[in-house]
Structure 1
Amino acid sequence: MTVVRRVAERVSGAREAARRATLLPFLVRVGVFLTVLVGFTVAFPVDIWFGDALPALLVTALLPALGPHRFWPTFAALVTVAGWLHGTFDQGERIALWRLLLLAVLLYLGHNLCALAALLPYDAVVDPALVVRWLARSAGVLLAAGVVGVLLLTVAGVGGDRGMLPVTIGGLSVAVVVAALLGWLLRRR
């Protein structure tokens, strides 16, 4: 009887949240869903989309929008990466740089929108300027990452005989510096 009561309470709570929901938090959650779904479209091979996996992918894209402060955004990102790995290594698709960069952008944007959605309650009255500033900051990060990426690719001479080793070393160096900076900032608090 307690399980039925808990389920009834959750359904009642979901109905109350839907009744009190406001437009901007809802639109942010729609943005989460669409970003994750487009990420799945870029990551997974085409034959997956026309197979039996479509309902599971739609539900997996919906979960981060419904629970952005839980495990679901991480789960959706892992599914996206697994789809790209499946398409690249199991299906033998070529590694296209544009596809990989677009996937990285979508993963970052999905993560960032989930962070915003987790901060906004369903019934929050939000100034649209807040969302615009949040998205502008995200665009700035993506632009800076794109500039650094192009510089690293130029230094590496992609397409030449030098390969991708300088890009790999540069990317790992940036990751180490960012991790060290974040650790320093956490200890500083």
Structure 2
Amino acid sequence: MSAVAVRIRAARRAVTRITLLPLLLRAGIFLSALAGLLLAYPVEVLRGQLLLVAPVVALLPAVGPRRIWPTVVALVTVGGWVLAIDGYDRPVALWRLLAVAAALYLNHTLCALVAVVPYDAVVDPALVLRWLLRAVAVLLGTMVLGVLLVELAGIGGEQGLLVVTMAGLVVAVLVPALLGWLLRRR
């Protein structure tokens, strides 16, 4: 039996055995990836071929969350953001920036959860609810801190921007240090 036939048989068996909660989580991965792509790219690009390609690209991490696809979708989304800002001179809107960041984070955290949950597992909904509540808490905290830092940047003109950049650097160093300390404390 060829390798292709074995893969087709394994895919057919996986489709018949998948349970509802892992399927819903994969749908969440697809929707968050698609939302990130649609929010990041400029409308001029979306009118063309990308509107047809975006759902296919968003489907890749839902099908293969353990593979390279979540990273590819994140890079394509960030590339779309950079293209919109630099190539199409779209102004940076705070709501769009926060929405793209939230979609990227939600996609990332759902891929992490689905990567460890087998497709045919019977999962307690409380586990998923706790996971999603934690993700929402992280998103809200990040958004509040981000808005505060943006407001601080406007206070001091160019000097205020330097202060916010340094504050962001301090946060970027302290968060991994705190997480490392929490892991060692166990």
1:11 aligns with 2:8: yes
Paired residue for 1:130, among 107, 110, 127?
A: 127
Aligned residue number for residue 70 of structure 2: 73
1:161 aligns with 2:172: no
1:116 aligns with 2:113: yes
1:107 aligns with 2:91: no
Task: State the TM-score, normalized to the length of structure 1.
Answer: 0.89
Aligned residue number for residue 48 of structure 1: 45
What is the CA–CA distance in structure 2 between the aligned matches of 1:175 and 1:161, rounded to whole Å?
23
1:60 aligns with 2:57: yes
Task: State the TM-score, normalized to the length of structure 2.
Answer: 0.90
Aligned residue number for residue 171 of structure 1: 168
Structure 1, residues 12-69: CA drift from partner, whole Å, max 9, x if none?
Answer: 1000000000000000000000000000111001122221123322211000000111
- 89-98 or 147-156, which moves further after superposition? 147-156
Aligned residue number for residue 144 of structure 2: 147
What is the CA–CA distance in structure 2 between the aligned matches of 1:101 and 1:159, rounded to whole Å?
21
Structure 1, residues 75-122: CA drift from partner, whole Å, max 9, x if none?
Answer: 100000000000110111111111111111111111011111111111
Aligned residue number for residue 20 of structure 1: 17
What is the CA–CA distance in structure 1 between the aligned matches of 2:167 and 2:126, rounded to whole Å?
36
- 135-144 or 26-35, which moves further after superposition? 135-144
Aligned residue number for residue 33 of structure 1: 30
- Structure 1 gap segments, 5+ residues each: none
Aligned residues: 185
1:89 aligns with 2:69: no
Residue 150 of structure 1, CA deviation? 3.0
In structure 2, relative to structure 1, the CA distance for the partners of 1:89 and 1:7 (3 Å cut) is same
